Every structure is written in C-alpha cells, then in structure tokens.
A = this chain, B = another copy of it.
C-alpha cells in the first residue's frame, strides 16, 4: 500500500514531492504593475476566460521569496521549503467576475513546481532573486522607506526573463486592491497513449482558494519593468508598454482547497 499525495508514492510516504494540504506559505513580495498590448494579453486566455473589457492588457509581475511548511515542520528543512518565484497575473473575466490569470510562472524548487501543477499554476524552473531589506543600517541594505529602491530578476535556460526595479514611496493604508481579484488557473495533465495526445486526462479551469490571506508592511511607489526576448519562451510577448505602481509587502496564506469552475 503506497503512501503519499504526489509522486513518488512510496512505502513510508516521506519521499513524495508534496504531502496533502494544508500548505502554509509566507513570502516577501516585489511587484510591478504594467500594461501590455491588449491583443497579446487576450491571446494568453484559456477557454472560459475572456478579456476584461475595463482593463484588458493590465497585469502585475510578482517576484516572491517564499517559505513553505505543511504539517511536519518543513520550514526547518530550508533546502526543500524555501524557494524563489516569478510570475505574471493578467486581468481577465470569468462569467463577468474580474479575475487574474497566470499565463507564465517560474520557480527554483521541484516541490513548489509539483504543488503548482496541482493548483493549475503552469510552473517551469527558473532562477529568481530580489534585493532584501535589513534592519541594520548599511549601504548594502536599503531600509524600507521613501525613495528606497529594490530590484528583482528572473532567468530561465540561462536567459534573463525579467528585470524590475521599484522605488517605494509610502506605506499603503489599504491593501485590499492587492488581493481583490481571485486567481484562475488551468489544471492540465496530458495523455501519452497514441491517439489520445490531443485529449488531456485533466483540463479544468479552477479558482485558487487562499485561506487567511494576510498582507503586512506594504509600501507602494513606482516601477520599471522589462521582459527581454528569450528563445523558447513567450513571456516577452507581454512586454510592458508602460508601468504603474511598484509594491513591496509580505504575504501569507494557507491552501487547503480549490474551486473547480469547469
């Protein structure tokens, strides 16, 4: 009788990439709001989502240094539980509801990749890094404060995918806009048997459920953002034509469920 939630299933249920939820997350976020070609944004949407008539082409690029734990003190196994992630969320509509859609996401950890696929996040491997804040005062350490700059970068296959620099200006008294749109993903797992390769085993639109979503230390300001052209990737088709706000905050939530839309 094999144990576990994901592969590899195993006698003791320890080797699997992810145990069953609850999955707890805490992260440091650098975000940059941007607008891209509306046609390019709309082209990324799956069946079931439509372009948002009020904000099509609007999105946010997020770089997050995450720490994860389930129920076994995984946060004390930092090699497996810390990871760095970069993704974009594009405005869309599901049955009239404003939602966010994640076309591309990169992460440096196989456990996070496995959980992501199960949630419908289409994760690939990438290298993601962000400037950190410290409480000690030193030229190497930007304190959170007006005019302070923070950078973040993402690379995949030895190509630079994304660069951002944000300049924070003031604390955000109201962070509700940061989590206003639910995230819609596409769970997708193909068949390999000949004749069935166009008929995936799993292909379903889902809405993420984030329990106890908490934001702290949120500051807003301005952002620079670029998505250089990379062979074998399509992120640069969403290259910013202009940017909006830059953000920096801490984020926590727990995943125990997901809502199937279709």
Would you mind naming 28 contact pairs between A and B with Cβ atoms under 8 Å apart? A2-B44, A5-B197, A11-B40, A12-B234, A15-B232, A15-B233, A15-B234, A20-B197, A21-B192, A27-B134, A67-B131, A69-B139, A69-B140, A75-B141, A78-B130, A78-B152, A79-B157, A80-B232, A109-B125, A117-B189, A118-B190, A134-B216, A136-B214, A138-B254, A139-B254, A154-B158, A158-B160, A194-B256
Binds B, one of A50-58, A92-100, A176-184, A245-253: A245-253
Chain B, Cβ-Cβ closest to A208: B192
Cα of A189 to Cα of B95 in the assembled complex, Å: 28
For the complex formed, measure the closest distance between the CB of A105 and the CB atoms of chain B, giving whole angstroms. 8
Interface centre among A2, A215, A259 (most CB of B within 10 A): A2
Q: Across chains A and B, which 8 residue pairs bring their CB atoms closest together, nearest first?
A: A155-B158, A8-B122, A7-B122, A26-B141, A138-B252, A136-B252, A110-B125, A194-B257
Taken residue by residue from 113 to 139, chain A's Cβ proximity to chain B (1 for < 8 Å, 0 otherwise) reads as 100011100111101011110111111
Bound CA–CA A217/B135 (angstroms): 8
Chain A residues with a Cβ under 8 A of chain B: 2, 5-12, 14-15, 17, 20-22, 24-28, 40, 43-44, 46, 65, 67-69, 73, 75-82, 103-105, 109-110, 113, 117-119, 122-125, 127, 129-132, 134-142, 149-155, 157-160, 165, 186-190, 192-194, 197-198, 201-202, 206, 212, 214-217, 231-235, 237, 250-260
Q: Do B165 and A76 touch across chains, with their CB atoms under 8 A apart?
A: yes
Smallest beta-carbon distance A20→chain B, Å: 5
Contact of A136 among B26, B77, B189, B231 (CB under 8 A): B26
Taking CB atoms, residues of chain B closer than 8 Å to A190 are 5-6, 118
Copies of this chain in its oligomeric complex: 4
Asked, given contacts A11-B44, A141-B75, A157-B80, whether A259 binds B186 with beta carbons under 8 Å apart, the answer is no
Known: A11-B44, A12-B234, A124-B8. A258 touches B75 (CB 8 A): no
Known: A141-B75, A153-B78, A193-B259. A14 touches B233 (CB 8 A): yes
Q: How many Å lie between the Cα of A110 and that of B17 in the bound state?
A: 14
- A2 and B46: CB pair below 8 A? yes
